[in-house]
């Protein structure tokens, strides 16, 4: 009999459905934890503020939380347990092990992205090396949709809908105000993957509709091609809608937020975070949307030769918590992933992350599988190149086919002329 307590935590940035996964784990532990013939779960704890809070003994007992509150997590945005971005160091492992022993934790669940899966993987391996039996299972989470081995991640669909709706509505504004502002730049989060910028393409119904240009991190930014396409679009429609990922870079790997109005590098700041990722917002306070705004302002001309003006929109973390735009499918899939993690742990599975494999687009169905934690921790899932058009400035029909079942129907806005 494998018996003990369970603990669940959340790491990194939130999604609008990460708490639904938390709900799935907690409810799964309570509902299944005493039914398995070979494995039992006694108590269910929560880490306040992730692994960092766990080491500081910040623990919540879900046995003291009302069932209706746990159920309410399904539709609550943010990270209800609190989050952290702590990279586990070698000196942390003895502290973590002592905490696991203190609370007799034998089932260990974390919801997060690549770095979170790395944390579970390393903690589980350390415990094994110390002769402590621990079953660790990861629950996928990221709005970037860049986790290896899963068709998509809980949280992406709702964030994609947020982007598509925002670009569609901003496109109506840009079209109607084109005599005043001739372009708009909409920046999404997504350091290395262009899934969220790509989702903006769902906003387009007619050729005139936004967006006109999509810039994804998978393809090197080309200043001349970008400006030429923007000028061509301005001449044709009278305005330009651009959607960009925050991490787009040129062929030399320079982030676009470091470029001037003519595509030349002007900033040298290479600040990195705890995980070695370049801090994109540390470029002297600039963002890629600001840089693109300057490029368009300085290089585009109206047909009469006059200069143009425009605006930029940076939503930053809003797609991570936009509960009003969450899809029902995303909520349910997030819960399913949490529940499946418990089923796997009770069955003796450890060292894996729950994945979703798409079985069909019409009707849309997925199956729940697994991937090794050590593979997910080191690999990312960029958009396939066949999802990006031959000009490297938009997406293909194959990309739209992938996105539509996740985002759902968008509103149809009328126009007078």
pLDDT class of 317 with cuts at 50, 70, 90: confident
- Range with top average pLDDT, 181-185, 310-314, 321-325: 181-185
Q: At what angle do helices 328-346 and 156-176 cross, to 10 degrees?
A: 160
Assess if residue 331 is contained within a domain.
yes
Assess if residue 231 is contained within a domain.
yes
Whether 202 and 327 map to the same domain: the answer is: no
Whether 77 and 182 map to the same domain: the answer is: no
Task: Tell me the per-residue pLDDT of 107-161, one tens digit each, with 9 for 90 and over.
Answer: 999 999 999 999 999 999 999 999 999 999 999 999 999 999 999 999 999 999 9
Q: What angle do CA 205, 208, 214 make, to 5 degrees?
A: 80
Whether 337 and 387 map to the same domain: the answer is: no
CA distance 273 to 312: 26
Whether 130 and 242 map to the same domain: the answer is: no
Whether 138 and 271 map to the same domain: the answer is: no
Residue 313, both tokens: 């929109």
Assess if residue 416 is contained within a domain.
no
Assess if residue 15 is contained within a domain.
yes
Assess if residue 417 is contained within a domain.
no
Q: What single-letter DSSP state applies at residue 24?
A: H
Assess if residue 97 is contained within a domain.
yes
Residue 369, both tokens: 């599988």
Mean local confidence (pLDDT), 298-317: 90
Whether 307 and 335 map to the same domain: the answer is: no
Task: Tell me the per-residue pLDDT of 71-101, one tens digit each, with 9 for 90 and over.
Answer: 999 999 999 999 999 999 999 999 999 999 9
Of 56, 61, 46, nearest in space to 9 by CA: 46
Assess if residue 266 is contained within a domain.
yes
- Specify the pLDDT at position 35: 87
pLDDT class of 282 with cuts at 50, 70, 90: very low
Tell me the CATH number at 134: 3.40.50.450
pTM for the whole structure: 0.93
- Specify the pLDDT at position 143: 95
Assess if residue 174 is contained within a domain.
yes
Evaluate if residue 284 carries a pLDDT over 50: no
Whether 264 and 124 map to the same domain: the answer is: no
Task: Tell me the per-residue pLDDT of 14-26, one tens digit each, with 9 for 90 and over.
Answer: 999 999 999 999 9
Whether 150 and 129 map to the same domain: the answer is: yes
Element (H, E) at 146: none
Mean local confidence (pLDDT), 222-249: 97
Residue numbers of the domain that contains 312: 158-319+383-407
Q: What SS3 class is residue 263? A: coil
Tell me the CATH number at 283: 3.40.50.460
CA distance 347 to 366: 21
Whether 251 and 182 map to the same domain: the answer is: yes
Task: Tell me the per-residue pLDDT of 325-360, one tens digit each, with 9 for 90 and over.
Answer: 999 999 999 999 999 999 999 999 999 999 999 999
**Enzyme catalytic residues:** 144
Task: Tell me the per-residue pLDDT of 38-72, one tens digit each, with 9 for 90 and over.
Answer: 899 999 999 999 999 999 999 999 999 999 999 99
Whether 295 and 400 map to the same domain: the answer is: yes
Evaluate if residue 274 carries a pLDDT over 90: no
Number of domains within the chain: 2
Least confident of 5-9, 32-36, 101-105, 353-357: 32-36
Task: State the virtual CA torsion across 377, 379, 381, 382 in degrees, nearest 10.
Answer: 130
Residues whose CB falls within 8 Å of the CB of residue 119, separated by 6 or more in sequence, listed in order: 11, 51, 88, 110, 112
Whether 136 and 272 map to the same domain: the answer is: no
Task: Tell me the per-residue pLDDT of 349-403, one tens digit each, with 9 for 90 and over.
Answer: 999 999 999 999 999 999 999 999 999 998 889 999 999 999 999 999 999 999 9
Whether 207 and 335 map to the same domain: the answer is: no
- Specify the pLDDT at position 277: 55
Evaluate if residue 286 carries a pLDDT over 80: no
Residue 349, both tokens: 């599975």
Paired with 105 in beta bridges are 5
CB 146 within 8 A of CB 380: yes
Evaluate if residue 7 carries a pLDDT over 70: yes
């Amino acid at each position: 009999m494998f018996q003990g307590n369970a603990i669940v935590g959340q790491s990194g940035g939130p999604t609008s459905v990460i708490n639904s996964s938390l709900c799935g784990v907690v409810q799964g532990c309570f509902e299944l934890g005493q039914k398995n013939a070979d494995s039992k779960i006694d108590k269910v704890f929560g880490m306040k503020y992730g692994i960092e809070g766990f080491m500081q003994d910040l623990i919540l007992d879900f046995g003291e939380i009302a069932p209706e509150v746990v159920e309410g997590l399904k539709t609550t945005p943010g990270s209800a347990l609190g989050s952290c971005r702590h990279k586990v160091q070698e000196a942390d492992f003895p502290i973590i092990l002592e905490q696991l022993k203190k609370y007799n934790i034998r089932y260990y669940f974390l919801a997060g992205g690549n770095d979170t899966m790395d944390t579970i993987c390393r903690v589980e391996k350390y415990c094994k090396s110390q002769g402590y039996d621990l079953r660790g299972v990861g629950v996928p989470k990221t709005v970037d949709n860049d986790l290896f081995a899963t068709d998509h991640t809980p949280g992406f669909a709702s964030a994609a809908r947020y982007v598509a709706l925002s670009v569609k509505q901003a496109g109506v504004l840009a079209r109607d105000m084109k005599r005043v502002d001739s372009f708009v730049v909409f920046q999404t989060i997504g350091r290395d993957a262009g899934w969220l910028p790509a989702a903006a393409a769902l906003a387009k119904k007619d050729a005139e509709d936004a967006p006109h240009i999509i810039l994804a991190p998978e393809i090197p930014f080309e200043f001349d091609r970008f400006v030429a396409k923007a000028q061509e679009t301005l001449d044709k429609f009278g305005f330009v809608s651009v959607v960009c990922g925050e991490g787009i870079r040129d062929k030399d790997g320079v982030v676009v937020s470091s470029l001037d109005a003519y595509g030349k590098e002007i900033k040298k700041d290479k600040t990195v975070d705890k995980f070695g990722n370049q801090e994109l917002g540390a470029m002297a306070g600039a963002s890629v949307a600001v840089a693109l705004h300057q490029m368009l302002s300085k290089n585009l001309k109206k047909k009469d030769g006059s200069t143009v003006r425009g605006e930029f929109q940076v939503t930053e973390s809003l797609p991570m918590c936009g509960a009003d735009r969450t899809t029902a499918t995303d909520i349910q899939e997030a819960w399913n992933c949490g529940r499946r993690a418990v089923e796997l742990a009770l069955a003796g599975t450890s060292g894996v992350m729950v994945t979703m494999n798409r079985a069909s687009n019409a009707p849309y169905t997925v199956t729940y599988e697994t991937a090794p934690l050590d593979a997910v921790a080191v690999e990312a899932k960029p958009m396939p190149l066949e999802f990006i058009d031959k000009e490297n400035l938009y997406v293909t029909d194959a990309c739209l086919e992938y996105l539509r079942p996740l985002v759902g129907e968008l509103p149809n806005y009328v126009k007078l002329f």
